Amino acid sequence: MSKNLCSILIAFAFIFFSLPAQAEKVLDVQELETESGIKLWLVEDHNVPVISMNFSFPGGLAMDPEGKTGLAYMLSIMLDEGAGDLDSQAFQKELADNSISMGFSAGRDHFTGGIKTLTRNQDKAAELLGLALSQPRFDQDAFDRMQSSTEATIRQNLTSPNWIAARSFNGLMFEGDPYALPGQGTLQTLANMTPDDLRAFAKDQFVKDGLKIAIAGDITAESAKVFVERIFSPLADASDIKTPEKDAEFKNQGQSFLYEFDNPQTHIIVGHKGIPVQDEDWPAAQIINYALGGGGFDSRLMEEIREKKGLTYGVSSYMSDMARAPSIQASLSASNDNAAEAIALLEKEWQRMATTGPTEAEIKNAQDYLTGSLVLALTSTDAISGALNGLQQNGFDADYINRRNDRLRNVSADQARVVAGRLLDPERLMIITVGNPTGFQPDQKLETIPGIE
């Protein structure tokens, strides 16, 4: 090779690798619309003959009628208990015989569902899901069985210190708002429910207004539109029932509470108002949370409270993206003798991160993990459709997933420091303790579990 040619190639290489990095193409998301106007996102993948779909309706637990808290949850566990001419046993047999998995969940802001099927069984999958949404049976025997099962779950929860801590956190932080109510209801509200309540609730919940759909797998765009149309077109266009729109008011921030519980460990949850997922600072908040407590053994809370002091087996922080009340929280368990010291250390690290922000090394570590984990999390059709439906629920556009990593990489140390001061405030931490912590003096002792009659 001539010296001149070698020089040219070296110069070209320098220019090429100096060009700004292009946004990585994580997924090719198609935005489609059916004949009747139902919109959906699709990622085609014809390597494996499997189709997955996730969908969501606005509402869920937010639509529970007064005095019937837990109705949305009951609906979520009753939808595969028979539909159309098929009773519970016949419906479940059809699912099993055709290798179709179907599930539903009532969240704080949305009622969600998902279905996964072999490509060759997509017509049967559409038929069964369509029946579940538009012609659910709610037979009395199936209702009685699921009601008894839920009652047993509630009774068991009332003996779980972890559950009591989480219930107390929501009940006190969002006091007076639907977010404060227990998702599965109470023994009293459960006893008040009837199959007719479910029939009325389903008609209001399952409407096309606000419906979000994401599909991934071995299906073409045209077939996907037919699939969606067959399932959802029979639903009403809208409902007279509206979900809450006003932001929830955060209550009891800066206060500490104790629910005495005979247990060798104290279970602790702390938290306060956070940053909305649509906020421009959300990527920086993700990095801050990872460095604080979201990164497992890479995080400050784990280092200071477990590794250096041995006060807990594990501690973590996490951000909630509830639509009307974003929050940042942390949780841990410690022996009753160590609980007060663990709380003090947590508050100290909360303050330190708020003051200085994450270090350059912490930012780089968080960026590497958060960007690298995205692709690893999208290794199946149901993971892809679920992730996309989550983005739909949060109001992002179809290409956001391809910009997400660049937004994380562009977070600077200066920005992270400013956002840390905005996100974290130990003076606003609400502290929930369940146990008998030695030396911990709460602002208030709880005589009952908030939200439980």
Domain boundaries, the chain: 30-232, 256-445
pLDDT recorded at residue 245: 86
Contact 336, 261 (CB under 8 A): no
* 30-232: CATH number: 3.30.830.10
pLDDT recorded at residue 36: 95
Residue 225, token pair as written in the block = 């539109």
pLDDT recorded at residue 20: 39
Angle between helices 282-289 and 400-409 (to 10 degrees): 60
Q: Is the pLDDT score of 275 beyond 50? A: yes
Q: Is the pLDDT score of 5 beyond 50? A: no
243 pLDDT band, cuts 50/70/90, is confident
pLDDT digits (tens, 9 = 90+) for 71-99: 999 999 999 999 999 999 999 999 999 99
Residue 65, token pair as written in the block = 């009628």
pLDDT recorded at residue 15: 32
Contact 366, 420 (CB under 8 A): no
Q: Once rounded to an integer, what is the mean pLDDT over residues 232-253? A: 93
Sort strands 315-320 and 30-33 into parallel, antiparallel or unpaired: unpaired
pLDDT recorded at residue 440: 96
Contact 377, 387 (CB under 8 A): yes
Which stretches of 59-158 are assigned E, i.e. beta strand?
101-106, 110-118
Beta bridge partners of 421: none
- In the chain, % helix, strand, coil (3-state, to 5) comes to 45, 20, 35
The Cα–Cα gap between 161 and 31 comes to: 45
In the chain, the percentage of residues whose pLDDT exceeds 70 is: 94
Contact 201, 71 (CB under 8 A): yes
pLDDT recorded at residue 328: 98
pLDDT recorded at residue 23: 53
Q: Once rounded to an integer, what is the mean pLDDT over residues 411-440? A: 97
3 pLDDT band, cuts 50/70/90, is very low
pLDDT recorded at residue 241: 85
Where do we find the tokens 């956002």? 419
pLDDT digits (tens, 9 = 90+) for 124-156: 999 999 999 999 999 999 999 999 999 999 999
pLDDT recorded at residue 453: 65
2 pLDDT band, cuts 50/70/90, is very low
202 pLDDT band, cuts 50/70/90, is very high
Candidate CATH numbers 3.40.50.300, 3.30.830.10, 3.40.50.170, 3.40.50.970; the one for domain 256-445: 3.30.830.10
The Cα–Cα gap between 279 and 83 comes to: 42
